[in-house]
Every structure is written in C-alpha cells, then in structure tokens.
Amino acid sequence: RHPAEPPAVSSVPDDLYAVPWTRADGTHLLMFWSAAGTSLNFPAIPT
C-alpha cells in the first residue's frame, strides 16, 4: 500500500537497489538486487 523504511543492513554493495514496501495487511516486503553478487547481512534477522 505504501513505501516503508528499509531494514538495517551491513556490507552494502555500491550498486544495491532496494524497494521496501508495507502491504495492506501490515506485513512488510523488501525487494532488492545488485549486480555485485555479494551478500547482504541483516543484523535484526537471526540466521
């Protein structure tokens, strides 16, 4: 339904593109891509 704040990430590549979104039901969606082929680390999400 509307744009949202992206989550905190570390080791962000220079060519990262991200689209954070909040759905009508309140859940969050994050679409992201990068040609660098590196990994993102989300500190708030346990692995």
Q: Report which of 22, 38, 23 is spatially closest to residue 6, judged by C-alpha positions.
A: 22
In a domain, 18, yes or no: yes
Backbone phi, then psi, for 36, in 5-degree steps?
-70, -25
In a domain, 29, yes or no: yes
In a domain, 19, yes or no: yes
In a domain, 24, yes or no: yes
In a domain, 44, yes or no: no
Six-digit token string for 14:
């220079």
Q: How far is CA 37 from the centre of its chain?
A: 15
Six-digit token string for 7:
């989550």
Domain interval for residue 29: 2-7+14-33
Confidence of residue 1 (pLDDT cuts 50, 70, 90): low
How many domains, the chain? 1
Q: Report which of 15, 24, 18 is spatially closest to residue 5, judged by C-alpha positions.
A: 18
pLDDT of residue 21: 92
In a domain, 47, yes or no: no
pLDDT of residue 32: 87
DSSP code of 41? B
